[in-house]
Amino acid sequence: MTKVCAITMVYNERNNLPIWLRHYGAQVGLENCFVLDHGTDDGSTDDLPREVNRIRIPRSAQDNKRRTAAINALTNSLLSWYDYAIYSDCDELLVADPRLYAGLIDFCEREEPEYRTAIGLNVLHDFNAEPALSSESLVSHQRSLCLYVSPMNKPSLTSVPVHWGVGFHHREKPPLFGGLFLFHLRYADVPRGLQRLDLTRNVVEWPSEKDGRHQRVSDDQWVAKIEKWLKLPVDREDPWSLEAGALKKHVEAFTAAAHKPGVSRVYASGPHIGAGLKLLPLPPEFVGAF
């Protein structure tokens, strides 16, 4: 059987880490989940299931270049024992298209990709209609709207040594889509999102004023972003269609931008086409997938 590992890095992820472990534990097995613990001090990593591989490192300022280099090295080392490695932040869930595959291992065994870029989607909390997220149920049972966002198009899965750039939005190879979706939970719950924002704004040490600005906005600014998205129209014309849906068109535009003639280092900076202009209702086939 194909061996797949999943890796994340955490600091005080009381809300997201249980969701991450539930998802990847079901997909690849808890014994193949690696949690790089950057000095967690809220107790959220003290009682992890014994199968989980917790790697403790000292707490330090948030240095994204050093963080990326460390995760690149860890991933490439693990590829000595695994056929595939996945890196995702603790609020990101990688899903193989449930219309085509039984899960991530099935995807890897049938497609045998060298690497793969996932289609990136923000999961949104329609807080006027949906209650706060419950840890007792899958996210896809509680949320119904997504928004395509090109910065979340991440090459999260690899079978060959990788050099991810900062933020894991790109690597040294061009984007290669097909069969994978990355569901980003940063905006999937307003109460939890504001708790996390308070931490990144007031507790996390940043190396400079410009670093992590999007994680240090005010509560009102953060909620206003979700409110703006929720005012977008909902695409009811099968946007998830594999043949001609909105997501297919977004991916084609992203890929074309990455292959513009004369642009030699587009993969180092990443082509950001922006966000979709319509909300995407989660298809029934995806309910239960994350």
Tell me the per-residue pLDDT of 20-75, one tens digit each, with 9 for 90 and over. Answer: 999 999 999 999 999 999 999 999 999 999 999 999 999 998 899 999 999 999 99
Q: Which two tokens stand for residue 234?
A: 């909902």
Q: Round to whole Å and give the CA distance between 241 and 244.
A: 6
| pTM score | 0.95
Torsion of CA 240, 245, 249, 251, to 10 degrees: 20
Q: Structurally, how many domains does the chain consist of? A: 1
Q: Residue 171: how many CB atoms within 10 A of its CB? A: 23
Residues 133-185 have pLDDT tens digits of 999 999 999 999 999 999 999 999 999 999 999 999 999 999 999 999 999 99
Question: Concatenated DSSP letters for 159-196?
Answer: SS---PPGGGS--SS---EEEEEEEE-TTS-HHHHHHH
pLDDT grade, residue 266 (50/70/90)?
very low
Domain extent at residue 220:
4-286
